[in-house]
Amino acid sequence: MKSPRTQNEAAEAFVSVLPYRLFEVRLLRKTVLSPHLCRLTFTGDDIDMMCTGAPDQRIKVFFPGADGKPPSLPLDDSWLGAYQAMPTGERPPRRTYTIRALRPGEMDIDFVLHGETGPASRWALHADPGARIQLAAPNRAYDGDTGGYEWRPPTGAKRVLIIADETALPAVTGILEDLAALDVRPLAEVYLEMPSTDDCVGLPDFPELNLEWLPRKPGDRHGAQMLSAAARAHVPSDPAPDRADALPDIDVDTDILWDRATTDRKDFYVWVAGEAHAVKEIRRILLKERGVDRKSANLMGYWRAGRVMD
């Protein structure tokens, strides 16, 4: 009589064809990057079936619950249905992160550390090598665009504007790596608001890059320096063809602010990500006050102060 297969063996035998699949991974090592930033490197039996579409590739991370038990969603295409069928209080905490790097047998996720205030930061602070979690990430076996990213500049883009806070630093770092590797690079104007001067870590550099770090000062409201950057950034001076005089409002306390660029014009491309209220104000400054073409701008509320976004 054959012995029953383990969950991992069953997962290895199962080849999903959906854009995203569930991966079980274990912590390999931690690397402290700065007082508020930490890189966690993971491995797993089938991690080489993971892929990325762009440097801002989003994934869902499932953390242990209040009882400390690792998440145990099924490692096949029933995982999402199983998660949704669970009573809300019994679901493993879920948060959105960016794949910072993917290598054979390993992947990196950079965490912003903010103490014991949430399941992600708490787990990142205390987890030891070998600790297990689950990820919903793009599936290499899928024959198509998996989605889950917004960095899609038109080929031959001449200028890009990036404004972000620390939660978007992993994506911005990957974007700058991609730009640095181009034979012909756009002029890149980048503003990064960070918790402190010590969090202004090394980034790729190239002649066309104008990078300004914006460390917060005591008493600064989160996002205030991002707004200041939006007001002084160099943007096209001509009125945009899709000037957003009737820009629809959005309540960032009840909805997710997520505007996607839809143009292939090469003169100007915008990528903004961070705290949702700050991004909403940047949206108003760039689109309504300064006349940036709405179709050229990605504006993404990665998180909302005082609100849980999973």
Determine contact, residues 70/132, Cβ cutoff 8 Å.
yes
pLDDT value for 247: 85
pLDDT value for 67: 86
Which residue type, as a one-letter code, is found at position 111? F
The edge-to-edge listing of strands for the beta sheet with 297-303 is 209-215, 187-194, 159-165, 269-275, 297-303, 258-259
Instruction: Report the phi/psi class of residue 277: left, alpha or beta, with left for phi > 0 and alpha for psi in -120 to 50.
Output: alpha
State how far the Cα of 45 lies from the Cα of 37, in Å rounded to an integer: 27
pLDDT value for 14: 47
Determine contact, residues 184/207, Cβ cutoff 8 Å.
no
pLDDT value for 3: 42
pLDDT value for 309: 64
pLDDT value for 215: 97
Determine contact, residues 193/214, Cβ cutoff 8 Å.
yes
pLDDT value for 310: 64
pLDDT tens figures, 118-132 = 889 999 999 999 999
Q: What is the mean pLDDT of each run of 10 residues along the chain (310 residues)?
A: 44 66 97 96 97 98 92 95 94 96 97 86 94 97 96 95 97 98 97 96 96 94 96 82 70 94 93 98 96 95 80
CA distances to 45, 77, 115, 294 from 215, in Å: 40, 43, 19, 28
State how far the Cα of 35 lies from the Cα of 31, in Å rounded to an integer: 11
State how far the Cα of 193 lies from the Cα of 127, in Å rounded to an integer: 27
User: Quick one: CA dihedral 62, 67, 70, 73, positive or negative?
Assistant: negative
Query: Tokens 């730009």 appear where?
Result: 179
State how far the Cα of 143 lies from the Cα of 162, in Å rounded to an integer: 31
**Domains contained in the chain, CATH given:** 16-138 (2.40.30.10), 159-303 (3.40.50.80)
The edge-to-edge listing of strands for the beta sheet with 101-103 is 94-98, 58-62, 132-138, 20-34, 37-43, 106-112, 101-103
pLDDT value for 10: 44
pLDDT value for 54: 98
Query: Is residue 83 classed as helix, strand or coil in its secondary structure?
Result: helix
pLDDT value for 238: 61
Question: What's the pTM value of the predicted model, to 2 decimals?
Answer: 0.91
DSSP state of 168: G
CB neighbour class for 84 (10 Å; exposed up to 12, middle 13-18, buried from 19): exposed
pLDDT value for 110: 97
